[in-house]
Amino acid sequence: MKRFFTFLIAALLMLSLTACVQILRNSGSAIATAQPANTLRLATLNAHYIVLSRPTGAWSVADWERRKAPFDAAFKDIDADIFAFQEMESFARGAGGGTNLALDWVLEQNPDFRAAAVGDWEEFPSTQPILYRADRLTPRDQGWFFFSETPDVIYARTFNGSWPAFASWALFETREGDQVRVVNVHFEYKSRSNRVLSAELVADRMAPWIAAGENVVLIGDLNARHGARTQDILAEAGVTFVPVSGATYHLNNGVNLFGAIDHIGATGGMRIVGQPVVVRQKYLNEWPSDHYPVYADFRFE
């Protein structure tokens, strides 16, 4: 029995040491820096949904009141030209999708920005908006498709029947006349087969844009790390992913257990300037979300 407890203690110590090593390896103290000249800054953040029927507790309305100022502070600090969000939803459990506390708040606090990839919730899923700086960019088109056997049916469930997941997209034109199509995705987290099928669908939908020589940016929460089949499918389709390193999801506690699941990739004539940045910090002593914001600066070639 004594030998068993000795073994158990050693195993627990080894497990703790491994966890500490992983946390250190996936951490870092990068902060948002000034944007290089003549670049386009693109950012992504899973905002985490708000449960409207929950007055207090995790992800409740009261919780949003606590984190909305830090959320806006992060948005301002990163100062992106294009900011793609996932789970920017005020979830009402069947009561309609006309309320979006987070989107309304960010737009109210940042009058220089507008929202693309949004619309009447009955015709356009509004939980993955793409915010853009109105003095630099003009939206030319937008759309969506669901990760489903019926991708053009709004709110269609995923391939294995789980909660709906989808891609939103928007086509922008800069003041200089360059165009970029931003595809904002959020792949389902539980099922690998769902993620693989979703990646294949995204690759199929992007294929004509890529073949036409468009600048396409794929951005968002892939729920897959570098080297996963999910990401490989998109890379084989022509997307070059920037090397996001370390954790982008932190369990809403600053705990960085595993590598990046939020990614940015580009095709066509988009060249990254510098390195992508994961902003792992609190704002106003609060975490804005359970994910970290990720951004990268690009230049048109």
Distance (Å, rounded) from C-alpha 240 to C-alpha 266?
A: 5
pLDDT confidence of residue 94? 61
Query: Strand 262-266 to strand 294-300: parallel, antiparallel, or no bridges (unpaired)?
Result: unpaired
| Number of Cβ atoms within 10 Å of the Cβ of 31 | 11
Distance (Å, rounded) from C-alpha 31 to C-alpha 38?
A: 21
Tokens of 45: 């953040």
Q: Dihedrals φ, ψ of 223, to 5°?
A: 50, 35
Kindly give the confidence (pLDDT) of every residue in the chain, 301 residues in length, as a single tens digit, with 9 standing for 90 and above: 444 444 444 333 333 333 333 444 355 557 899 999 999 999 999 999 999 999 999 999 999 999 999 999 999 999 999 999 999 999 887 656 789 999 999 999 999 999 999 999 999 998 999 999 999 999 999 999 999 999 999 999 999 999 999 999 999 999 999 999 999 999 999 999 999 999 999 999 999 999 999 999 999 999 999 999 999 999 999 999 999 999 999 999 999 999 999 999 999 889 999 999 999 999 999 999 999 999 999 999 8
* Contact assessment for residue 269 and residue 215, using Cβ atoms and an 8 Å cutoff: yes
3-state SS class at 273:
strand
* Contact assessment for residue 63 and residue 57, using Cβ atoms and an 8 Å cutoff: yes
31-300: CATH topology is Deoxyribonuclease I; Chain A (3.60.10)
Distance (Å, rounded) from C-alpha 159 to C-alpha 150?
A: 9
* Contact assessment for residue 185 and residue 222, using Cβ atoms and an 8 Å cutoff: yes
| Number of Cβ atoms within 10 Å of the Cβ of 169 | 26
| Residue-by-residue DSSP string for 168-201 | EEEEEEETTS-EEEEEEEE--SS-HHHHHHHHHH
